[in-house]
Amino acid sequence: MRKSFDEINEKIRAKRAVVVTAEEMIDIVRDQGPKAAARKVDVVTTGTFGPMCSSGAVLNVGHATPRMKIHRAWLNGVAAYGGLAAADVMIGATALPDDDPGNARHPGAFPYGGGHVIEDLVQGRTVKLEAESYGTDCYPRRKLEAGIRLRDLNDAQLSNPRNAYQNYNVAVNAKGDRTIYTYLGVLRPKMANATYCSAGQLSPLVNDPGFRTIGVGTRIFLGGGVGFVTGHGTQHAPNVARNERGVPTGGAGTLAVCGDLKQMHADFLRGVSVTGYGVSLAVGIGVPIPVLDEDLAWSTAVTDRDVVAPVVDYANDYPNNEGEPLAFVSYAELKSGTIEVRGKRVRCASMSSYAKARVIASELKRWIEAGAFSLGRPVETLPGPGSDLHPHLLVNHPTTEVER
């Protein structure tokens, strides 16, 4: 039996669609089989919440009087990008204030940055905008200081060139002799601990591993509002080795997404300070997966036992692009709190909130059941396994001076 997007959307409009979370789908497929599950269930909702550094917001702050072509800008002292149109400013999640000492006194605390600016805007707080320019005939103003609030901006778009990673590394410090501070958290030497960052069985791209239903135009839950998939994310790596379920055994697919920041909520968009590393933005994303057929019923019943991740040394191997994974462990093992790596029991913890991922999947389910959220049929699917996308290391070419 096959269903179409249109048929499912018709059911959603009539509030007759059967919607379950990816967790609930596991039991349904186990008890009734994928064929019956495909007949019964129309949509499976997924969710994930964790730091996603490749995030930012494009703000149109409105023209000042006299007008100004913003050239350089700061938001609450955090450097923003002014290389867009006159009144557009972009703030990146990992941007820091000019006076942040970084890791000069290691490990740096990184108390405030771009991710926090975005959270402050979403919280409704007033953010200080400082801008400079060189002045033109049409935009004569050279300096600007103003307090801005999200509600008064003409436009505020959350833009994430890469997130919702389809699986990811488990980090350990196996080869170092001191505590290290990474984007995956604090790692003590001799593999005293391990960290990971994925919702596993609830993660969007794990539930549609071949990208059959997710593509450009897919409507999603983004930061508490409605967003869209705009394409495959940067570093999208669909050709990573996969297990018998088609789930990659390492970081693979990614999504590029965007959405209206004004719809979003700080419960699902939070600034993050990663000790010794920097700042980031934790983003909540939920993707609905239409159960078009039996195969999709089966793939959305993926469990934490079915998803394995590579354990990677972050003291030497990761920073130097060397070595092989030390082991592969399942998310069921990771969520037990202890994994075994080369004969050693290692305590592990998550950087991603499974509790929040559950809230997101449930919230998205509620929206769809209420008929308030229909499925976006992709106008183009993402490059899948077998495509010619192969992310690689930096290619360094000889450069020549550009004549100015």
Partner 1 sequence: MTQRIVLYVPSGSVNPRTLEPDARERRVPASRVVRDRKRCVDCGACVGACLSGALVADPATRETLVRPHACVGCGLCVPTCGYGALLTVVTGPRAEGVS
At its nearest, how many Å lie between partner 1 and the CB of residue 39? 30
Member of 26, 52, 240, 282 binding partner 1 (CB under 8 A): 282
364 makes contact with partner 1 (CB under 8 A): no
Query: Which among 76-84, 241-249, 269-277, 363-371 is the span making contact with partner 1, rule CB under 8 A?
Result: 269-277
CB distance 91 to 81 below 8 Å: yes
349 makes contact with partner 1 (CB under 8 A): yes
Residue 291 exposed, middle or buried by CB count within 10 Å (0-12, 13-18, 19+): buried
111 makes contact with partner 1 (CB under 8 A): yes
CB distance 354 to 199 below 8 Å: yes
**Which is the catalytic residue, given 53, 138, 258, 348?**
138
Instruction: Choose between 84 and 186: whose C-beta lies nearer to partner 1.
Output: 186
Instruction: Choose between 63 and 335: whose C-beta lies nearer to partner 1.
Output: 335
Cis peptide before 107 (omega within 30 of 0): yes
Q: What is the pattern of x (binds partner 1, CB under 8 A) and - over residues 287-326?
A: ----------------------------------------
- Token pair recorded at residue 125: 């707080």
360 makes contact with partner 1 (CB under 8 A): no
46 makes contact with partner 1 (CB under 8 A): no
Whether residue 197 lies in the annotated active site: no
Helices then strands, counting H and E runs in the chain, come out as 7, 26
352 makes contact with partner 1 (CB under 8 A): yes
**Dihedral angle computed from the Cα positions of residues 219, 225, 230 and 235, in that order, rounded to the nearest 10 degrees:** -120
CB distance 210 to 167 below 8 Å: no
Residue whose C-alpha is closest to residue 222's, from 363, 104, 73, 323: 363
182 makes contact with partner 1 (CB under 8 A): no
At its nearest, how many Å lie between partner 1 and the CB of residue 352? 6
236 makes contact with partner 1 (CB under 8 A): no
101 makes contact with partner 1 (CB under 8 A): no
CB distance 59 to 111 below 8 Å: no
* Strand extents, DSSP E, 113-241: 127-132, 143-148, 155-163, 170-172, 180-182, 185-187, 193-196, 215-216, 219-222, 225-232
C-alpha distance across the termini of the chain, in Å: 63
Member of 141, 232, 270, 365 binding partner 1 (CB under 8 A): 270
At its nearest, how many Å lie between partner 1 and the CB of residue 6? 36
Member of 38, 73, 127, 194 binding partner 1 (CB under 8 A): 194
CB atoms within 10 A of CB 284: 25
Instruction: Choose between 167 and 352: whose C-beta lies nearer to partner 1.
Output: 352
350 makes contact with partner 1 (CB under 8 A): yes
For 337, residues 6+ apart whose C-beta sits below 8 A from its C-beta are: 347, 348, 349
Member of 51, 92, 209, 215 binding partner 1 (CB under 8 A): 51
251 makes contact with partner 1 (CB under 8 A): no
What DSSP state is assigned to residue 97?
B
Instruction: Choose between 197 and 296: whose C-beta lies nearer to partner 1.
Output: 197
At its nearest, how many Å lie between partner 1 and the CB of residue 183? 10
Instruction: Residue count of the chain, please give it.
Output: 404
114 makes contact with partner 1 (CB under 8 A): no
Binding residues (CB under 8 A) for partner 1: these are 49-51, 107, 109-112, 116, 181, 185-186, 193-195, 270-276, 280, 282, 335, 337, 347-356, 358
